[in-house]
Amino acid sequence: MHHGGYTIPASLRHLIDAERARTGRSAEAIIRDALSQYFETSLHTVFQVSTSGALVAGVSEREVSVGTLLDHGDFGLGTFTGLDGEMILIEGHAYHADVNGDVTRVAPDAGTPFAIVTRFSPEQETTLGPVRSFSELEAACDPLRGSGNIFYALRLDGRFARVKARSIGPQAPGTRLAEAAKSQHEFTFTDVEGTLVGIWSPEFSGPFSVAGYHFHFISADRRHGGHVLDVDAEGLRLQIEPLSNFHLALPETEAYLRATISGNTAAELATAERGR
Ligand SMILES: [Zn+2]
């Protein structure tokens, strides 16, 4: 077997074939996992900084640097210190969408209070569409998820007739997310080439993560982006990866340690994140 110019001996090839037959996974996926074990880098792992509950409760101090995030993933989303804008991590680069949806590349020393990232290693690829709304997008992605009980990373590429997104401007320390969301800006990008960077989180993760689909958009020219509220696209290329390991990095800041994070932040989060 030739793989990017490498030759794999027959003895190993038999093992790969047996594993393919046993699991139904592709040779590529098996080789990727084997390499990641050899190099001790984790695949199919969510690395999340802080909890959605803490963010809802207004804990938005810098917890880790973007550089640290990039050590744990090359793909994901989040926000910045003081809820200043939306974060998009794609292909190992971090971007900041400001309150107007204008995007700039972020330096590794920028800080984040909340983010969820992974080393994107998709197992499945397909095309879907047309999708005329966020709920149609959800409905189109649903059958591609094998389970409701693990996390998924989703990347959708294509030309969008319309992307409605929002972003939040910098907030005073301690501002609750629902309060901050009242001052968010909403904007619509039309006829734009770009990518949806998404994480799907199971229902049970609601108190500490963002349950359901959470997408951030970035344009192909890396100039526009934000937290996605609605979409309209003719056809999109979807890549999806199941994520069965979850690493939660809890903050050690005074603000987090002293915060009152009530049990029922999920409803407040849904209002702030969905805007519907
Ligand atoms: Zn978001």
Output the domain CATH number for residue 170.
Answer: 3.30.1330.80
Both 10 and 67 in one domain: the answer is: no
CA distance 87 to 98: 9
CA 25 / ligand 1 centre spacing (Å): 31
Same-domain pairing of 266 and 137: yes
Looking at the structure, tell me whether residues 159 and 239 fall in a common domain.
yes
Tell whether 40 is covered by a domain: no
In a domain, 199, yes or no: yes
Identify the pLDDT of residue 4. Answer: 63
| Structure-block tokens of residue 12 | 């190993």
Would you say 196 and 217 are in contact if contact means Cβ atoms under 8 Å apart? yes
- Residue ranges for the chain with pLDDT beneath 70: 1-4, 40, 263, 275-276
Residues 19 and 127 in one domain: no
19 and 104 share a domain? Answer: no
Q: Are residues 257 and 178 in the same domain?
A: yes
Helix/strand/coil for 211: coil
User: Contact 202/261 with Cβ under 8 angstroms?
Assistant: no
Between helices 10-23 and 27-38, what is the axis angle to 10°?
110
Q: Are 253 and 61 in contact (CB under 8 A)?
A: yes
Q: If you measure from the C-alpha of residue 44 to the centroid of ligand 1, how many angstroms do you get, rounded to a whole number?
A: 21
Check whether residue 64 and residue 27 sit in a common domain.
Answer: no
Residue 261 and residue 155 share a domain: yes
Q: Are residues 71 and 100 in the same domain?
A: yes
Tokens matching residue 157? 């590429």
Question: Domain range spanning residue 6?
Answer: 2-34
What is the 199 CA–ligand 1 centroid distance (Å)? Answer: 10
Q: Both 161 and 30 in a single domain?
A: no
For residues 235-272, one letter each, b for 16 or more C-beta atoms within 10 angstroms of the residue's C-beta and e for the rest, the string is ebebbbbbbeebeeeebebebbeebebeeebbebbbeb
Ligand 1 centroid from CA 35, angstroms: 32
User: Is 232 part of any domain?
Assistant: yes
- 118 within some domain: yes
Q: Is residue 69 assigned to a domain?
A: yes
Q: What per-residue confidence (pLDDT) applies to 271? A: 80
Would you state the pLDDT for residue 74?
Answer: 96
Domain count across the chain: 2
- Inside any domain, residue 114: yes
The rounded distance, in Å, linking the Cα atoms of 65 and 2 is: 39
| Centre of ligand 1 from the C-alpha of residue 127, in Å | 24
pLDDT in the model for residue 276: 46
Residues 62, 134 share a domain: yes
Cα(224) to ligand 1 centroid in Å equals 15
Position 274 scores a pLDDT of 76
Question: Amino acid identity, residue 62?
Answer: R
Compute the distance from residue 217 Cα to the ligand 1 centre, in Å: 9
pLDDT given for residue 275 in this prediction: 62
Give the pLDDT of residue 225.
Answer: 98
**Residue 34 has what pLDDT?**
85
Give how far Cα 201 sits from Cα of 40, 71, 208, 236, 257, Å.
Answer: 25, 22, 10, 21, 25
Rounded alpha-carbon distances, angstroms, from residue 261 to 168, 201, 274: 22, 20, 21
Residue 215 CA, ligand 1 centroid: distance in Å: 6
Residue 39 resides in a domain: no
Q: Are residues 99 and 133 in the same domain?
A: yes
Candidates 128, 189, 188; CA nearest to 155 is 128
